[in-house]
């Protein structure tokens, strides 16, 4: 299993993501100006402040040359994980539905939070069980997940709500306490909390490792990457047939 | 007013410049001299004192004089670290002042080639309960620190904040940074190699921060805050993030001869320092400097303090490779000059020489003044308003202390900082007395660094010598509580106007205390910073030497925690024989409206060194389940903090005398662990109680529910910031 972690100017957590991925597979840094994914099996768009969050978080990084390759890779079923700023970039790139708005407090908050696994059938949560509780830190100022209510209803119906802040753990005002979502096919997942900072009990928790293990599990049981929107086959078929694909509300 | 006086130079200094130049300096030259001979750059009033501090030790790999000092941390690695002030800019414009303070100290660390791994901050403001301005300064300073540190991806792992009315007009913002580097790759700032090229890279140069070092940092603050805003620099952490990666890649590829950051006094200071250290000259063509404002004069380009800029010296055949790395990171880079053998700093506009200065005169001939210290006839500090009656019950006293702005939980502040990025943070704020940062695995173990920053201005105001000794002891005690042995320290000396005899006396006594404590504990000073003239219309700040200490521990898995961990554990008080807590200079004395006056308890430094070593060893052995030093607020507050941090109550029997419960003085720790754990401490350990239950009960003194302690501690600062 080979992970690629994209480095933009202003990325902060790319070395942490590289380390986390290297615990379950091979991992390389990918430079944002390149056009080559170097044959990786999974792409991680890391946290940080790409392009200083200027204009809008994620809005500029989304136009980096490598992101074009990532979009093609994702639409062909390739595994993509966006963490924090990476989640923002994937939303800007319309690979994931919804948007991230400033926290209701308008302040940056760094806090260990408890997350509930809502869907264990995505490519990035297959090593979890539905209802699992994960302790993972979150740290952001622009992490309030938002989408119009009809889109949120569709996401819930489609199983695209992957992670929720456990009761009392939400601090940013996210709609329906959503911490992470997937595209319709479940190969692209984005979340605001930082699983790469929860891979070692010495730093507080190793629960985040489960996401990386999930992707490694896919590599051990490869799916067909030729169907652009093939649903997850890892555990059970997707629950619903109608609804919004990636970025369909735009 | 003459031009040189406007620039902050005395008549005598001007005459000395004329003599050294053998002619009158022109406008460009005078501007450069005024900066290099400012207090901020030239340390005119502190240089002689600083020479008395011990700077050598077996683990020191780079001492004072470079951008940052460094100590050996094993496995071929060095930790570079330094603390620096950004007080006056933060008083004028707190968000940008604090942000650029962080940016500046980060550059100091990566200028020696080290990758920054952690930031700590030491902050002082006026009373937040009564001063809206102090709440505003706190709020914006914290936002500025977070903005810069979070955005650049360096963890802010610790710090301290105190509130005293003496800081009402002149807040303190000190930032410390630690970085890691392979020892053999440390780079110095001395320019070398006649004919080598000087490359300026990073942000464009603008009119921001003109005169920051001389006008703002080296004079007392008056009432003209708004008019001085142009002297405050504007920070751009994204530019610095690129600059950091770019600098480290340039060094990694071994493309540079020397590297220097542009901080106070901008290009002037950077170029003069590089030339002086290398005993060479530099020719700089300011016409080549990329500008952000049109029509800048040569002197403005030389003294601009625009942020996020670095200067490097490169062999001619490597210039192209250097520019290519800069292009990769979208960082501007321009060859602006050459190294010469003349020992002169020449400023050119194309072919025209607009300034020609002897480098030794700029740096080595800067005057160093003897201070004229004299203790004040009476304390210059007013008594604070009384907020607690003398007859208050111990219960009421403890709650008042725990909820006071100085002792309440810092969570509302530190939650605004990313304390995790880098995956090294094994102890976060409020988990332990010091932050713990893991190094790479060494076999099965994770060796780690511990770091603490401390300084209690009120106690230094009482007794500058003993107060400064206590700042060093407090850091050492904090390190002991996580199991770390000190390797070195950095200090920031924040004082008032040293030309006043009583300030000179505070400074002299405090530096003597620092030096004695460092020698007694065997901890060398590897670098630091001096910030003088911290006075507003209300008088001088409390004398505030801030100490940042770095230590090592063999195994992060055994790093100590401060909170009680398990019901049924035994609680012990570890105290030096000479531990004699008193109310002088204490938080309780402040709540009772006492002025900061009186003698602090003496410290037997030899004995305290042994007690700290015993605590350190016990933590390292894994025998203790918690360790916390007794500091502000005294023993009762320390016990309450152990309960709150661990979410467990305790039943304790100690001498219920007020001075024992709430008095302050160095030399005591609250530890917990299984019974029988404390034999190694010998007579220093007294078993005082047991962990458990849902209240803190101190026999004959007080009994308070854990929930109430937790709430009061959590709300004290939070409600002021809401």
**DSSP 3-state of B671:** strand
A54 neighbourhood in chain B, CB within 8 Å = 238
B177 occurs within a structural domain? no
**pLDDT averaged over every residue in chain A:** 89
Mean pLDDT value of segment A177-206:
97
Question: What pLDDT, on a 0 to 100 scale, did the predictor assign at position B228?
Answer: 58
Annotated catalytic residue: which of A32, A69, A71, A84? A84
* Long-range CB contacts for residues B498-503, cutoff 8 Å, separation at least 24: B498/B45, B498/B46, B498/B371, B498/B532, B498/B533, B499/B45, B500/B540, B501/B372, B501/B373, B501/B374, B501/B376, B502/B373, B502/B374, B502/B375, B502/B376, B502/B380, B503/B540, B503/B543
User: Across chain A, how many H-helices and E-strands are there?
Assistant: 5, 11
Residue A194: burial class (beta carbons within 10 Å; 0-12, 13-18, 19+): buried
Closest chain A residue to the Cα of B238, Cα to Cα: A52
The whole-angstrom distance between B603's CA and the closest CA on chain A is 36
Residue B684: burial class (beta carbons within 10 Å; 0-12, 13-18, 19+): buried
| For residue B20, pLDDT beyond 70 | yes
Number of domains in chain B: 1
**Facing B242 at nearest CB: one of A9, A108, A110:** A9
Question: What pLDDT, on a 0 to 100 scale, did the predictor assign at position B233?
Answer: 79
The whole-angstrom distance between B9's CA and the closest CA on chain A is 40
| For residue B530, pLDDT beyond 80 | yes
A49 neighbourhood in chain B, CB within 8 Å = 150-153, 237-238, 241
pLDDT tens-digit series, residues B648-679? 999 999 999 999 999 999 999 999 999 989 99
**pLDDT averaged over every residue in chain B:** 94
Is residue A32 within 8 A of residue A8, CB to CB? The reply is yes
Mean pLDDT value of segment A193-215:
97
CB contact under 8 A, A9 and B422: no
B146 neighbourhood in chain A, CB within 8 Å = 108
Strands B702-705, B281-285: pairing is: unpaired
CA dihedral B663, B668, B673, B678 (to 10 degrees): -130
Share of chain B above pLDDT 90, in %: 87
Query: Tell me, what CATH number does B262's domain have?
Result: 3.90.650.10
Q: Which two tokens stand for residue B229?
A: 């805003």
Is residue A81 within 8 A of residue A211, CB to CB? The reply is yes
**A interface mutation test: which of B249, B325, B423 has the most A CBs within 10 A?**
B423
B708 occurs within a structural domain? no
A107 neighbourhood in chain B, CB within 8 Å = 143, 416
The answer to pTM > 0.90 is: yes
Question: What pLDDT, on a 0 to 100 scale, did the predictor assign at position A245?
Answer: 37
CA dist B532 and B520 (Å) reads: 27
CB contact under 8 A, A12 and B151: yes
Q: What radius of gyration do chain B's Cα atoms show?
A: 25
CA dist B721 and B140 (Å) reads: 11
Is residue B64 within 8 A of residue B167, CB to CB? The reply is no
Q: What is the DSSP string of B603-647?
A: --HHHHHHHHHHHHHHHHHT--SEEEE--TTHHHHHHHHHHHHHT
**Facing B557 at nearest CB: one of A12, A199, A202:** A202
**B interface mutation test: which of A52, A58, A64 has the most B CBs within 10 A?**
A52
CA dist A170 and A175 (Å) reads: 10
Mean pLDDT value of segment A112-118:
98
Question: What pLDDT, on a 0 to 100 scale, did the predictor assign at position B721?
Answer: 83
Residue B223: burial class (beta carbons within 10 Å; 0-12, 13-18, 19+): exposed
Residue with tokens 């001979």: B37
Contacts of B99 (CB under 8 A, 6+ apart): B144, B145, B147, B148, B235, B237
Is residue B420 within 8 A of residue B410, CB to CB? The reply is no
Question: What pLDDT, on a 0 to 100 scale, did the predictor assign at position B7?
Answer: 87
Interface of B with A (CB under 8 A): 143, 146, 150-153, 236-239, 241-242, 245, 328-330, 414-426, 428, 438, 446, 556-557
ipTM of the complex: 0.91
Contacts of A147 (CB under 8 A, 6+ apart): A97, A98, A99, A155, A175, A249
B338 occurs within a structural domain? yes
CA dist B336 and B584 (Å) reads: 58
CA dihedral B688, B692, B697, B699 (to 10 degrees): -40
pLDDT tens-digit series, residues B405-456? 999 999 999 999 999 999 999 999 999 999 999 999 888 889 999 999 999 9
Containing structural domain, residue B15: 1-37+187-365
B250 occurs within a structural domain? yes
| Residue pairs spanning A and B at CB distance below 8 A | 87
**A interface mutation test: which of B95, B119, B241 has the most A CBs within 10 A?**
B241
pLDDT band at B564 (very low <50, low <70, confident <90, very high): very high
CB contact under 8 A, B238 and A51: yes
| For residue B169, pLDDT beyond 70 | yes
pLDDT tens-digit series, residues B195-234? 999 999 999 999 876 765 555 555 666 655 555 555 677 8
CB contact under 8 A, B425 and A107: no
CA dist B319 and B334 (Å) reads: 10
| For residue B555, pLDDT beyond 50 | yes
B150 neighbourhood in chain A, CB within 8 Å = 12, 49, 108, 139, 141
| For residue A220, pLDDT beyond 70 | no
CB contact under 8 A, B416 and A109: yes
| For residue A232, pLDDT beyond 80 | no
The whole-angstrom distance between B146's CA and the closest CA on chain A is 8
Q: Which two tokens stand for residue A26?
A: 């091979």
What backbone phi and psi angles, to 5 degrees, belong to B658? -55, -45
| For residue A116, pLDDT beyond 60 | yes
Beta-bridge mates of residue B544: B494
Residue in B558, B134, B107 with CA at minimum distance from that of residue B311: B107
**Facing A52 at nearest CB: one of B238, B428, B438:** B238
pLDDT band at A244 (very low <50, low <70, confident <90, very high): very low
Annotated catalytic residue: which of B40, B45, B147, B628? B40
Is residue B620 within 8 A of residue B560, CB to CB? The reply is no
CB contact under 8 A, A111 and B415: yes
Q: What is the DSSP string of B140-195?
A: HHHHHHHHHHHHHT-EEEEEEEEE-GGGSSS-EEEEEEEEEEEGGG-------STT
Q: Order of strands across the sheet with B77-85?
A: B60-62, B69-74, B77-85, B172-182, B115-125, B155-163
B180 occurs within a structural domain? no
B40 is known as an active-site residue? yes
Mean pLDDT value of segment B70-74:
97
B293 occurs within a structural domain? yes
Question: What pLDDT, on a 0 to 100 scale, did the predictor assign at position B264?
Answer: 83
CB contact under 8 A, B151 and A52: yes
CB contact under 8 A, B423 and A52: no
Share of chain B above pLDDT 70, in %: 97
The whole-angstrom distance between B204's CA and the closest CA on chain A is 17
| For residue B393, pLDDT beyond 80 | yes
Strands B197-202, B309-314: pairing is: antiparallel
pLDDT tens-digit series, residues B78-89? 999 999 999 988
Q: What is the DSSP letter of B582?
A: B
pLDDT band at B66 (very low <50, low <70, confident <90, very high): confident
**DSSP 3-state of A5:** strand
| For residue A239, pLDDT beyond 50 | no
Question: What pLDDT, on a 0 to 100 scale, did the predictor assign at position B717?
Answer: 95
| For residue A131, pLDDT beyond 60 | yes
pLDDT band at A247 (very low <50, low <70, confident <90, very high): very low
CB contact under 8 A, A202 and B329: no
CA dist B176 and A21 (Å) reads: 31
A91 is known as an active-site residue? no
B151 neighbourhood in chain A, CB within 8 Å = 10, 12, 49, 52-53
**B interface mutation test: which of A7, A8, A10, A137 has the most B CBs within 10 A?**
A10
CB contact under 8 A, A12 and B241: yes
CB contact under 8 A, A9 and B151: no
B10 occurs within a structural domain? yes
CB contact under 8 A, B417 and A108: yes
What is each CA distance from B392 to A8, B473, B594, B658, B665, in whole angstroms? 59, 31, 15, 11, 22
pLDDT tens-digit series, residues B686-722? 999 999 999 999 999 999 999 999 999 999 999 988 7
CA angle B149–B102–B188, rounded 5-degree value: 115
Question: What pLDDT, on a 0 to 100 scale, did the predictor assign at position A236?
Answer: 37
**DSSP 3-state of B116:** strand
Beta-bridge mates of residue B627: B671
CA dist B382 and B166 (Å) reads: 8
B113 occurs within a structural domain? no
Question: What fold characterizes domain A2-220?
Answer: Rossmann fold (3.40.50)
| For residue B353, pLDDT beyond 50 | yes
Question: What pLDDT, on a 0 to 100 scale, did the predictor assign at position A7?
Answer: 96
Residue in B550, B446, B493, B544 with CA at minimum distance from that of residue B158: B550
What backbone phi and psi angles, to 5 degrees, belong to B568? 95, -15
CB contact under 8 A, B417 and A110: yes
pLDDT tens-digit series, residues A93-104? 999 999 999 999
pLDDT band at B15 (very low <50, low <70, confident <90, very high): very high
Q: Which two tokens stand for residue A187?
A: 């190969």
The whole-angstrom distance between B418's CA and the closest CA on chain A is 6
CB contact under 8 A, B238 and A111: no
């Amino acid at each position: 299993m080979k992970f690629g972690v994209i480095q933009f100017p202003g990325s902060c957590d790319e070395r942490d993501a590289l380390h986390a991925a290297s615990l379950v597979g091979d991992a390389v840094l990918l430079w944002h100006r390149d056009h080559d994914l170097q044959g990786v099996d999974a792409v991680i768009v890391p946290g940080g402040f790409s392009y200083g969050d200027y204009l809008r978080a994620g809005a500029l990084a989304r136009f980096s040359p490598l992101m074009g390759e990532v979009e093609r890779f994702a639409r062909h079923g390739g595994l993509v994980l966006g963490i924090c700023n990476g989640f923002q970039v994937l939303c800007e790139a319309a690979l994931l539905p919804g948007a991230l708005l400033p926290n209701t407090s308008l302040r940056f908050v760094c806090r260990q939070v408890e997350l509930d696994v809502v869907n264990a059938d995505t490519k990035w949560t297959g090593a979890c069980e539905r209802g699992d509780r994960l302790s993972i830190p979150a740290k952001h100022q622009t992490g309030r997940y938002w989408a119009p209510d009809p889109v949120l209803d569709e996401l819930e119906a489609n199983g695209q709500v992957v992670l929720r802040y456990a009761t009392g753990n939400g601090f940013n005002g996210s709609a329906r306490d959503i911490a992470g979502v997937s595209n319709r096919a479940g190969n692209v997942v984005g979340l605001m909390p930082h699983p790469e900072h929860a891979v070692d009990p010495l730093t507080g928790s190793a629960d985040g490792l489960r996401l990386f293990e999930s992707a490694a599990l896919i590599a051990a049981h490869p799916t067909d990457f030729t169907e652009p929107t093939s649903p997850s086959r890892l555990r059970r078929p997707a629950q619903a047939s109608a609804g919004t694909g990636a970025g369909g509300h735009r | 007013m003459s031009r040189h006086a406007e620039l902050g130079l005395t008549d005598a200094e001007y005459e000395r410049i004329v003599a050294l130049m053998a002619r009158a300096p022109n406008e460009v030259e005078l501007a450069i001299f005024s900066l290099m001979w400012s207090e901020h750059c030239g340390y005119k009033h502190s240089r002689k004192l600083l020479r008395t501090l011990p700077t050598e030790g077996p683990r020191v790999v780079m001492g004072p004089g470079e951008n940052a000092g460094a100590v050996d941390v094993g496995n071929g690695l060095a930790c570079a670290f330094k603390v620096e002030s950004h007080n006056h800019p933060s008083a004028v414009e707190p968000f940008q002042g604090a942000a650029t303070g962080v940016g500046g100290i980060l550059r100091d660390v990566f200028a020696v080639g080290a990758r920054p791994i952690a930031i700590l901050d030491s902050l002082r403001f006026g009373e937040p309960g009564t001063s809206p301005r102090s709440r505003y300064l706190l709020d914006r300073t914290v936002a500025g620190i977070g903005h810069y540190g979070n955005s650049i991806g360096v963890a802010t792992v610790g710090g301290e904040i105190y509130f005293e009315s003496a800081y009402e007009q002149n807040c303190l913002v000190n930032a410390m940074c630690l970085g890691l580097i392979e020892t053999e790759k440390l780079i110095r700032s001395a320019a070398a190699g006649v004919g080598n090229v000087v490359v300026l890279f990073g942000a464009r140069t603008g009119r921001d921060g003109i005169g920051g070092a001389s006008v703002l940092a080296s004079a007392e603050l008056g009432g003209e805050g708004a008019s001085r805003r142009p002297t405050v620099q504007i920070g751009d952490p994204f530019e610095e993030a690129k600059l950091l990666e770019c600098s480290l890649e340039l060094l990694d590829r071994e493309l540079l001869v020397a590297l220097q950051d542009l901080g106070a006094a901008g290009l002037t200071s950077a170029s003069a320092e590089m030339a002086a250290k290398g005993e060479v000259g530099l020719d700089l063509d300011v016409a080549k400097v990329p500008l952000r404002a049109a029509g800048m004069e040569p002197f403005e380009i030389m003294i601009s303090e625009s942020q996020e800029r670095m200067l490097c010296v490169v062999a001619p055949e490597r210039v192209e490779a250097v520019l290519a790395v800069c292009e990769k990171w979208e960082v501007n880079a321009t060859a602006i000059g050459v190294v010469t053998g003349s020992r002169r700093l020449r400023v050119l506009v194309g072919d025209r020489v607009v300034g020609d200065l002897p480098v030794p005169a700029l740096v080595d001939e800067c005057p160093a003044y003897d201070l004229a210290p004299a203790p004040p006839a009476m304390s210059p500090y007013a008594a604070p308003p009384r907020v607690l009656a003398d007859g208050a019950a111990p219960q009421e006293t403890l709650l008042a202390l725990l909820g006071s702005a100085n002792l309440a939980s810092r969570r509302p502040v530190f939650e605004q900082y990313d304390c995790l990025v880098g995956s090294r943070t094994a102890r976060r704020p409020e988990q332990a007395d010091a932050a713990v940062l893991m190094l790479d695995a060494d076999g099965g173990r994770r060796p780690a660094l511990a770091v603490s920053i401390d300084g209690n201005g009120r106690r230094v105001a009482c007794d500058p010598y003993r107060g400064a000794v206590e700042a060093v002891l407090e850091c050492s005690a904090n390190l002991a509580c996580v199991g770390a042995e000190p390797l070195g320290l950095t200090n920031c000396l924040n004082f008032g106007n040293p030309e006043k005899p009583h300030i000179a006396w505070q400074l002299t006594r405090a530096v003597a205390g620092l030096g004695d404590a460092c020698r007694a504990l065997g901890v060398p000073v590897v670098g630091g910073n001096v910030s003088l003239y911290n006075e507003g219309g209300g008088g001088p700040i409390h004398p505030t030497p801030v100490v940042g200490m770095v230590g090592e521990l063999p195994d992060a898995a055994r790093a100590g925690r401060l909170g009680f961990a398990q019901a049924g554990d035994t609680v012990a008080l570890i105290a030096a024989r000479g531990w004699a807590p008193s109310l002088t200079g204490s938080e309780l004395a402040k709540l009772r409206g006492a002025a900061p006056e009186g003698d602090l308890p003496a410290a037997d430094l030899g004995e305290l060194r042994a007690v700290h070593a015993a605590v350190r060893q016990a933590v390292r052995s894994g025998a203790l389940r918690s360790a916390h030093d007794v500091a502000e607020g005294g023993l009762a507050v320390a016990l309450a903090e152990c309960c709150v941090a661990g979410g467990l109550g305790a039943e304790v029997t100690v001498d219920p005398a007020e001075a024992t419960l709430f008095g302050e003085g160095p030399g005591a720790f609250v530890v917990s662990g299984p019974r029988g754990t404390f034999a190694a401490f010998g007579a220093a350990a007294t078993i005082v109680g047991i962990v458990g239950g849902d209240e803190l009960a101190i026999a004959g003194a007080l009994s308070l529910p854990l929930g109430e302690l937790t709430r009061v501690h959590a709300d004290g600062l939070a409600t002021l910031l809401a």
